[in-house]
Amino acid sequence: MQFVQFEKVNGYLHITLTDEGRAELAELADYPSASSLDLFPDLIDHQLGNGWERILPEEVGALTDATILTDDCERDENGKLVTCGRVYSNIDYYQIESDVERLLRLGCLVWSW
């Protein structure tokens, strides 16, 4: 099931909540412990299995704890990052508001780098 859609637009990554994603988050909101969980990885699981991957900040020399995603990298046989093209991140707001809260509020995230 696809809870969000990714679309690259003019150098930005638009992450849009689908109807299925909104329903999933509404269902999880019924569980008190869900508010303390980072549900964003679950929302993007479909994309992570289809060409996108999460990059560790230290792999690209970033001094942040923000989530970093790309669909343009290559790793060696040991999993070490060899090349990396454009990356996208929530660096502008990750310390202020969670991706899930922002998706619920706005319906779409716009990531840059």
Q: Which residues pair with 73 in a beta bridge?
A: 84
pLDDT of residue 84: 96
pLDDT of residue 30: 66
φ and ψ at residue 50, rounded to 5 degrees = -135, 55
pLDDT of residue 6: 98
Return contacts of 21-27, CB within 8 angstroms, 24+ apart. 21/103, 22/104, 25/100, 25/103, 25/104
d(CA 16, CA 28): 18
Q: Is the pLDDT of residue 7 over 80?
A: yes
Q: pLDDT class for 39, splitting at 50, 70, 90? A: confident
- What's the Cα-to-Cα distance from 4 to each of 33, 109, 113, rounded to whole Å? 22, 10, 20
Q: What is the pLDDT of residues 51-81, one digit of tens each?
A: 999 999 999 999 999 999 999 999 999 999 9
Token duo for residue 27: 């269902």
